[in-house]
Structure 1
């Protein structure tokens, strides 16, 4: 029986994790390509792929599913390469780009109706990057958008959904334009705002005198966490969702102008309603659900100021085989209980650590 062939182009965190998940398909060969030869070698060593192709052309020609796992601008260039290759008549071409309309337009232009292109966007990531960080369960319970067009054959959509079953993601079909608006609101614009807040802090005249970043360890640190994301990646994303973001800037200006005008008018009720409506909306968000923004699994605890206390805490966690991503002492504890903050890879690791520390009589807290 002939084996099906999945060809993954781009073997970083996302492409590598999808390749690992695809291994659950029986009677399937996973082949890969990456422009970085060291990445290719490591992907083979780790068993992320079964074989490495020498070029995009060689891998794509025999593939039943072609997955382009690259930044948006890179995916558009890869579509140009695929256009020059004779592909199998029933192949599905998909991708993992963070915006969809521009990629869809390019696919229409260079691939034409003869090739089935269905865009994709897995809404998951990690604080780590590269093929070394790839893991098969990266997308479990996360949303995975696919963006078929109205004239895409339903059997091809179902085929793609079938390929994605091992990811254990929540696959959601949506048109490309709606996708870009949705991620613009809940992911792209928040990244701009977070980066803008960091810029505002550093440009403040008080920064030099008081070392504002050191004082901003509480709520400010939390709401600007995503500003630490890869700037090259986010430059690519933002530039490819320009129209949506410009409209969001206009809406944001209206909201901020309303707050400013309310302050100038000393309109106490308007200010109260601004915060009240935001609180009511925020309190309706689902708890412990993986969304679009990278999740944070943090644990707070009280510790006394005595020698080796932090070592004792990390020792208790480490002896149980639980990995700690990061740790920091909180000096400014506005709206935060606990003086030590520990970051974990998952809610499971965090909850296990919390139970252990409670057994050793530590007061622990989780901020949902």
Structure 2
């Protein structure tokens, strides 16, 4: 199948590597000529260019641009592609994207691969990035079933765990397990930096190990992604942050009042609950 990818960063480049390894012809578009050359050299695309006209004869196109540019990208694509071409995106927010793009293109299927690293750009692209991870599709009642079926047939060989849900349900769920962790992780780093004693900061940096590495990873990643989460999933991110703040206040209260038994019960409940999120 001839597949197009607009946006050759970590996600777009990794999709290209995997799709080409499965025998698909992959054509890529990036705003930068340098990125196009690297994508071809690395084997992420068969061809790459800065002109969307390259994708005129593709069967399926992945929109892998930042969320802020997705609608304009689709508008610019429309004059070049067939009405039968299927469009999908990889944005981490779905309701706003689906609301904007679905009216423009009948064969649009919202998508979100739940995979990534703290690195960005075509240089960070890697084989097998999506294997074993969830890949969420958010079709609506007007999404053609044959478009969904074709997209799923392309994604299954990537060994992803496919899920379907409504765009609004997606945004509420990922606020808890993806967007809130980014905000909390970023706050952790900022809190550490607020230490007034420079010697203590240096010691903390020297002693930081797996605990800090794990909890700070997503907060120390691509700043643009964190901003897009907050901006385009604002209501759900705020709701999750407010609930999280309530939980912090509870822990502060228990420590302040030396309610060690209650605090231990909280930690025990959390220990029991965590495996359900690690399937």
1:69 Cα offset (Å): 0.9
The answer for the alignment partner of 1:96 in structure 2 is 90
Q: Distance in 1 between matches of 2:115 and 2:30?
A: 21
Please tell me whether Structure 1 or Structure 2 has the larger radius of gyration of its CA atoms.
Answer: 1
SS in 2 for 1:52: strand
1:80 Cα offset (Å): 2.9
Higher helix share: 2
**Does the C-alpha gap of structure 1 residues 82 and 176 become closer, same or farther in structure 2, counting only changes over 3 Å?**
same
SS in 1 for 2:102: helix
The answer for the alignment partner of 2:36 in structure 1 is 40
The answer for the alignment partner of 1:71 in structure 2 is 66
| Structure 2 residue corresponding to 1:220, chosen from 195, 200, 212 | 212
Deviations 1:51-86 (A, max 9, x none): 224511x13432211111122112233123234x15
TM-score (norm 2): 0.90
SS in 2 for 1:23: helix
Q: Distance in 2 between matches of 1:141 and 1:244?
A: 26
The answer for the alignment partner of 1:118 in structure 2 is 109
Q: Distance in 1 between matches of 2:208 and 2:39?
A: 40
Deviations 1:229-278 (A, max 9, x none): 01123212221111101101221122122223333444333222221211
Q: Distance in 2 between matches of 1:130 and 1:158?
A: 30
| Structure 1 residue corresponding to 2:6, chosen from 1, 5, 9 | 9
Structure of higher RCO (CA pairs closer than 8 Å, 6+ residues apart): 2
TM-score (norm 1): 0.69
1:196 Cα offset (Å): 0.7
Gaps of 5+ in 1: 290-368
Kept in 2: contact 1:136–1:167 (CA 8 A):
no
**Does the C-alpha gap of structure 1 residues 206 and 157 become closer, same or farther in structure 2, counting only changes over 3 Å?**
same
**Does the C-alpha gap of structure 1 residues 281 and 55 become closer, same or farther in structure 2, counting only changes over 3 Å?**
same
1:207 Cα offset (Å): 4.6
Kept in 2: contact 1:23–1:30 (CA 8 A):
yes
Kept in 2: contact 1:145–1:172 (CA 8 A):
yes
- Residue 197, structure 1, aligned to residue 176, structure 2: no
Q: Distance in 2 between matches of 1:145 and 1:255?
A: 29
- Residue 170, structure 1, aligned to residue 161, structure 2: yes
**Does the C-alpha gap of structure 1 residues 260 and 137 become closer, same or farther in structure 2, counting only changes over 3 Å?**
closer
Gaps of 5+ in 2: none
Q: Distance in 2 between matches of 1:142 and 1:209?
A: 39
Kept in 2: contact 1:17–1:138 (CA 8 A):
yes
The answer for the alignment partner of 1:246 in structure 2 is 238
The answer for the alignment partner of 2:56 in structure 1 is 61
| Structure 2 residue corresponding to 1:278, chosen from 263, 270, 273 | 270
Kept in 1: contact 2:5–2:62 (CA 8 A):
yes
